Chains A and B, each alone.
Chain A
Amino acid sequence: NAGVTQTPKFQVLKTGQSMTLQCAQDMNHNSMYWYRQDPGMGLRLIYYSASEGTTDKGEVPNGYNVSRLNKREFSLRLESAAPSQTSVYFCASSGYGTESYEQYFGPGTRLTVT
């Protein structure tokens, strides 16, 4: 039982390059989330998916796209990376709608855009 896994752990991009961050969970959760964390800012929601086949914008969606490939996997794509997207990205999942819906976080991806 791995929980929430993310790849890659570290990434350096040049401005304008694209990349996809991968996330998978094995807890049979319906809800999945992508956050970014910047120093002193807390965790800010980029996109979320309440169930397979649905996605919605969070607080800071500009410059990102997501895909809920199936119940397990939720990917985040940066089409044209900008230095302002330098951050730590966390994927999370929860059993929202069940008795206990705390969020479980992956280990994070540290992204630097130069």
Chain B
Amino acid sequence: QQPVQSPQAVILREGEDAVINCSSSKALYSVHWYRQKHGEAPVFLMILLKGGEQKGHEKISASFNEKKQQSSLYLTASQLSYSGTYFCGTEVRGSQGNLIFGKGTKLSVKP
């Protein structure tokens, strides 16, 4: 079952914050976050392995609520370079590391 990402798209001004959510109907073992710029391959941002775990990458951080089967990606003080489409990939136990990706959230950061 494909995880649901929200919002589908968001437009920000430089310096503004954003939150992208990823919700699954299945119990999750881990959540992965990737960013893809137009015409390029997806690039890994971070993995969250434990419930309630938060990780950070530059000014991008994420949380994972295992009970609610949800993860959120937080982008603070956004920069032009943050523009792109963000995907969450969810892993269920026993899936041998295979991920099911959401449909993506398109983030546009304007000057």
How many chain A residues touch B (CB < 8 A): the figure is 25
User: Within 8 Å of chain B (Cβ to Cβ): is A64?
Assistant: no
When distances are taken between beta carbons in the complex, the residues of chain A under 8 Å from B43 are 105
Bitwise interface map of A from 28 to 44 toward B, beta carbon under 8 Å scored 1, else 0: 00010100000011111
Given contacts A43-B87, A96-B96, A103 and B101 within 8 Å (CB-CB):
no
Check if A90 sits within 8 Å of B32, measured CB to CB.
Answer: no
User: Within 8 Å of chain B (Cβ to Cβ): is A50?
Assistant: yes
When distances are taken between beta carbons in the complex, the residues of chain B under 8 Å from A45 are 98-100
> Given the complex of chains A and B, what is the CA–CA distance between A40 and B101 in angstroms?
12
When distances are taken between beta carbons in the complex, the residues of chain A under 8 Å from B103 are 40-42
Given contacts A42-B87, A102-B47, A107 and B98 within 8 Å (CB-CB):
no
Contact of A105 among B2, B41, B96, B98 (CB under 8 A): B41
When distances are taken between beta carbons in the complex, the residues of chain B under 8 Å from A107 are 40-41
Check if B97 sits within 8 Å of A43, measured CB to CB.
Answer: no
Bitwise interface map of A from 41 to 65 toward B, beta carbon under 8 Å scored 1, else 0: 1111100101000000011000000
Q: Could you list which residues of chain A lie within 8 angstroms of chain B, going by C-beta atoms?
A: 31, 33, 40-45, 48, 50, 58-59, 90, 94, 96-97, 100-108
Q: Could you list which residues of chain B lie within 8 angstroms of chain A, going by C-beta atoms?
A: 2, 32, 34, 40-44, 47, 87, 89, 96-104
